[in-house]
Amino acid sequence: MKRLILATRNAHKVTELRAILAGAGLDVELVGADAYPEIPDVKETGVTFAENALLKAHALARATGHPAVADDSGLCVDVLNGAPGIFSARWAGRHGDDKANLDLLLAQLSDIADEHRGAHFACAAALALPDGTERVVEGRLEGTLRHEPAGSGGFGYDPVLQPLGESRTCAQLTAEEKNAISHRGEAFRALVPVVRELLG
């Protein structure tokens, strides 16, 4: 069985991709970066989601000698020309402060009318082999931004993005409902033929 490493210490991401690969009948042993605690996290110095995903996947593939997958994602707001984008997790200045990021975004959009509040979650997922071979796939979840947060599920900007065709925000969906339409789920599902092609 081929080993594939996912560049994350988030157990939920590992479980999600493992289920997608197993559901596609791929005989792959998927482990997270926790399996290699001696390898430091990679700095995300790219200027696109794809560049950041590739940086992480290549670093892990080189360090371990195994194929590696990495993803990078964020919120892209139409009237902000795609921002916060790659800066989604540190939009308010401190990395990972979800409430501060959300509060700042809502303040910036406070006078923007409903018809101009289009946005999408974007995710790039990269697969890199130790020999330098690489592939990138992408997923998107289109929606509009609410004026106030709603729901307690999810994280990040989930409480304000309402997917197209939905009356609820991402934070009001069940985990199963969200995984079925999420940008990361879409990108991970798009990886299946890539894994099949490159890992056999």
Helix (H) or strand (E) holding 123: strand 118-128
Check the annotation: does 11 bind a ligand: yes
Check the annotation: does 156 bind a ligand: yes
Check the annotation: does 72 bind a ligand: yes
| Tokens standing for residue 61 | 């593939």
The SS3 call for residue 121 is strand
Check the annotation: does 10 bind a ligand: yes
Check the annotation: does 8 bind a ligand: yes
Check the annotation: does 58 bind a ligand: no
Q: Cα 191 vs. chain centroid, distance in angstroms?
A: 13
Q: Is 72 a catalytic residue?
A: yes
Helix (H) or strand (E) holding 139: strand 134-145
Check the annotation: does 120 bind a ligand: no
Name the strands in the sheet holding 118-128, side by side, starting at the edge strand that comes first in the sequence: 28-32, 2-6, 68-77, 118-128, 134-145, 161-163
Q: From the candidates 41, 72, 97, 114, give the one annotated as an active-site residue.
A: 72
Strand pairing partners for 32?
6
Check the annotation: does 147 bind a ligand: no
Nearest of 56, 61, 58 to residue 72 by alpha carbon: 56
Check the annotation: does 22 bind a ligand: no
Residues comprising the binding site for substrate? 8-13, 73, 155-158, 178, 183-184
Tell me the binding residues: 8-13, 72-73, 155-158, 178, 183-184
Q: Which residues are catalytic?
A: 72
Where is the binding site for Mg(2+), in residues?
A: 72
